[in-house]
Structure 1
């Protein structure tokens, strides 16, 4: 099973989201092909209602702790309540910026 699938299954089970996107963005970074090291998560869940954004991020980071220990390098987290998602138009997570680390620095 791929890391993307494991992340999706873990978050889906724990958060019961009404919408979940797990996107492998490793290709945007200076890592070997197939590294599965950088991901973006958009999770829309009632579980986030009443939580501050930092607490939502902490919750998601805790859920993916095993993957972080096993080589996952970075997770861009967009953890929204259903109302926030609807207020944003019910679309996709914001685009991630270009990586400027390693061999991909702007010249």
Structure 2
């Protein structure tokens, strides 16, 4: 399973999102800090879920980061999180 698939599966299980996009942006960071051969190090996550409604932006981001704790420790160097409206 690719890292993108793992991230998608973990966030789907944790938040039952209405919308979810996991975009591997590693190719934009070739040669930069944290980049590794084979990529899968830099990601953008766009998520819309009612589970994050009412939380501050910081709390929303913390919730996503906590859900992806294992992936962040293993291989993911950078994660850009975009919380989308649910309405």
TM-score (norm 2): 0.89
What count of residue pairs does the alignment treat as equivalent? 83
1:64 aligns with 2:68: yes
Q: Deviating runs (4+, > 6 A) in structure 1?
A: none
1:71 positional shift: 1.7
Q: Which has the higher contact order (CA 8 A, sep 6+)?
A: 2
1:8 matches 2:8:
yes
Contact 1:44 1:79 in 2 (8 A): yes
Other structure's SS at 2:65 match = helix
Unmatched runs of 5 consecutive residues or more in structure 2: none
> C-alpha separation between the residues in 1 aligned to 2:76 and 2:20?
19
Considering only aligned residues, what root-mean-square deviation do their CA atoms show, in Å?
1.1
Give the drift of 1:48: 1.2
Q: How big is the shift at 1:33?
A: 4.7
Larger radius of gyration: 1
Q: Deviations over 1:67-94 (max 9, x none)?
A: 11102101000123302xxxxxxxxxxx
Segments of structure 1 that go 5 or more residues without pairing to the other structure are 84-107
Alpha-carbon distance, 1:34 to partner: 2.1
Deviation at 1:32, TM superposition (A): 4.4
Residue 49 of structure 1: CA displacement? 1.1
SS in 2 for 1:82: coil
Distance 1:21 1:70 in 2: 21
